[in-house]
């Protein structure tokens, strides 16, 4: 979504919002999907039979894709024609310019810039946590804090804590500056590093991550190289999405990394003995660099 909004702002497109009632029920399935007989619709003579679906249903993993395949557009005239055609087939409401979506507030200025915020969502979250009167701070995380799994007393009921953590994860959708603080809960005994990156399309941040690495590495070079590989994978996915949208990057994406050894490793075709134990999956970043798909 951030990628599409970024493209919208760069190309000065109009952003419209449509509410289609029971949208996912209109999708056409490409795969064969079967379901159990629902309550009230059982066949008493064949109770073990199943239904073969002709149309999509809610809760199917194929449902969003099947619906999205129904229509698209980029010009005002084409969009209006699509909206008109859709209105003749589906019961829907044209909500005009997009302003609120899934807890996000979208605002615009006269220059065509788009701003995303979750102010109301954040305030509701503070109220839920009983922290409405807390004071603001530039960095919501105590520096150099080290936590252990054995520290403190276990919560009698961790339900609220888990709910707040999940809600904070969604808040990072528009707040990359909170990503590290929200995900800073690793056990220092494991000595696992944290992968962090931000991907920009032009001047717009469209993808970011702050996540504890799944493996322990023996040097900062190896940890940084793994972060490079994860970032390269995300860049490859974004590039494929752009291709699906018929948009082609004129130049290879540039990755910045502050570890010289990791940069050298990504462009050196010679395997060094001290990193031969690294999983081959992480070395695909070299292939990307050698094929000029990436510049580091």
Cβ within 8 Å of residue 200, ≥6 positions away: 206
Q: How many Å apart are CA 200 and CA 177, to the nearest integer? A: 14
Identify the residue whose tokens are 């969009």.
79
**Nearest in space to 253 (alpha carbons), one of 229, 236, 228, 267:** 236
For position 69, what pLDDT does the model report? 64
Strand 194-201 relative to strand 16-20, pairing: unpaired
pLDDT of residue 276: 62
Domain edges within the chain: 22-75
Q: How do the pLDDT tens digits run along the chain, 296 residues long?
A: 889 888 888 888 877 777 777 665 666 767 788 888 888 888 888 988 998 877 777 667 666 666 666 557 566 777 777 778 777 777 777 667 788 888 888 888 888 788 889 999 999 999 999 999 988 887 777 777 777 777 788 889 999 999 999 999 999 999 988 888 888 775 567 677 788 899 999 888 999 998 887 777 767 777 888 888 889 999 999 999 998 888 888 888 999 988 888 888 777 766 555 566 566 666 778 888 888 888 88
- Helix 260-267 with 220-244: angle, nearest 10 deg: 60
> What's the confidence (pLDDT) of residue 282?
67
Tokens of 102: 């899934």
Rg (CA), the chain: 24
**Nearest CA to 142 among 178, 195, 176, 181?**
181
DSSP 212-280: E-SS--SSHHHHHHHHHHHHHHHHHHHHHHHHHTT---SS--B---S-HHHHHHHH--SPPGGGTTS-G
Q: Are the CB atoms for 266 and 228 separated by under 8 Å?
A: yes
Q: Name the DSSP letter for residue 55.
A: B
Residues 195-207 pLDDT 10s? 889 999 988 899 9
SS percent in the chain: helix, strand, coil, step 5: 40, 15, 45
Quote the pTM value: 0.70
Q: Which residue has the tokens 């018929």?
A: 246
Distance, in Å, from the CA atom of 103 to the CA atom of 179, rounded to the nearest integer, reads 18
The answer to whether the CB of 278 falls within 8 A of the CB of 222 is yes
pLDDT tens per residue across span 118-152: 999 999 999 999 999 988 887 777 777 777 777 78
């Amino acid at each position: 979504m951030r990628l599409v909004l970024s493209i919208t702002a760069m190309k000065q497109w109009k952003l419209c919002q449509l509410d289609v009632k029971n949208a996912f029920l209109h999708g056409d399935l490409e795969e064969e999907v079967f379901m159990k007989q629902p309550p009230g619709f059982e066949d008493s003579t064949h109770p073990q039979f199943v239904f073969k679906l002709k149309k999509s249903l809610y809760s199917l993993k194929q449902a969003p894709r099947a619906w999205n395949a129904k229509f698209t557009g980029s010009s005002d005239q084409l969009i209006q024609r699509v909206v008109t055609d859709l209105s003749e087939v589906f019961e829907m409401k044209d909500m005009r310019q997009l302003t609120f979506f899934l807890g996000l507030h979208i605002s615009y200025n006269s220059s065509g810039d788009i701003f995303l915020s979750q102010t109301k969502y954040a305030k509701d979250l503070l109220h839920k946590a009983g922290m409405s009167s807390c004071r603001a701070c530039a960095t919501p995380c105590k520096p150099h804090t080290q936590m252990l799994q054995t520290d403190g007393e276990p919560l009698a009921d961790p339900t609220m804590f888990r709910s707040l953590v999940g809600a904070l994860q969604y808040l990072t959708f528009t707040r990359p500056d909170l990503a590290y603080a929200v995900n800073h809960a690793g056990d220092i005994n494991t000595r696992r590093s944290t992968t962090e990156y931000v991907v920009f399309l032009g001047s717009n941040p469209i993808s970011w991550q702050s996540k504890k690495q799944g493996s322990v590495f023996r040097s900062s070079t190896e940890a940084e190289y793994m972060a490079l590989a994860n970032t390269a994978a995300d860049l490859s996915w974004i590039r494929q999405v752009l291709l699906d949208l018929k948009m082609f990057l004129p130049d290879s994406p540039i990755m910045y990394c502050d570890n010289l050894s990791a940069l050298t490793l990504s462009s050196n075709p010679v395997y060094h003995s001290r990193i031969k134990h690294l999983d081959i999956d992480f070395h695909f970043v070299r292939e990307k660099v050698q094929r000029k798909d990436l510049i580091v």
